[in-house]
Structure 1
Amino acid sequence: MSQTLMALAAALPVAAGWSLHSLMLRRRIEAARRDPLSGLWTREPFEERARRSLESGHRAVVVIDLDGFKQVNDTYGHAVGDAVIATAGQRLNRWSLNNGGVAARLGGDEFAAIVSVYSLADLHWTMDQLAEELCAPVEFEDHVLWVGFSAGVVRTQRGSRAAELSRLMRCADEVMYGAKQTGGGWMAAPDDAAPAYRTVNGRRDGRRGTSKEAA
Structure 2
Amino acid sequence: MNDFMTVLAAAAPLASGWAWHGVVMRRHLSAARRDPLSGLPTRATFERRTERALARGPHVVIVMDLDGFKHLNDLFGHAAGDEAIRVTAASLNDALSTERGSVAARLGGDEFAAVVPLRDRAALPWLLRGLHGEVTAPFRHSGRDLAVGASIGACVTTDLPAPSLSLALRRADEAMYEAKRAGGGWRIADGPALTHTTTSGRRTGRPGTARRRAA
2:104 is matched with which residue? 103
Q: Distance in 2 between matches of 1:52 and 1:27?
A: 24
Q: Distance in 1 between matches of 2:120 and 2:177?
A: 24
Q: Are 1:189 and 1:199, in contact at CA under 8 Å, matched by a contact in 2?
A: yes
Deviations 1:19-52 (A, max 9, x none): 3321211111221222111111111111111111
Give the deviation of 1:119 after TM superposition. 2.4
The RMSD of aligned alpha carbons is 2.7
2:127 is matched with which residue? 126
Identity %: 46
Q: Distance in 1 between matches of 2:98 and 2:211?
A: 23
Q: Which runs of 5+ in 2 are unaligned?
A: 196-207
Q: Distance in 2 between matches of 1:194 and 1:3?
A: 75
1:194 is matched with which residue? 193
Q: Distance in 1 between matches of 2:141 and 2:110?
A: 18
1:152 is matched with which residue? 153
2:73 is matched with which residue? 73
- The alignment of Structure 1 onto Structure 2 pairs a total of residues equal to 202
SS, match of residue 145 in structure 2: strand
Q: Distance in 1 between matches of 2:181 and 2:19?
A: 53
Taking the TM superposition and a 5 Å limit, the aligned residue runs for 1:82-93 are 82-93=82-93
Distance 1:4 1:145, change over 3 A: same
Deviations 1:34-84 (A, max 9, x none): 211111111111111111111222211111001121211111111111111
1:19 is matched with which residue? 19
SS, match of residue 24 in structure 1: helix
Q: Which runs of 5+ in 1 are unaligned?
A: 205-215
TM-score (norm 2): 0.81
Q: Distance in 2 between matches of 1:177 and 1:95?
A: 21
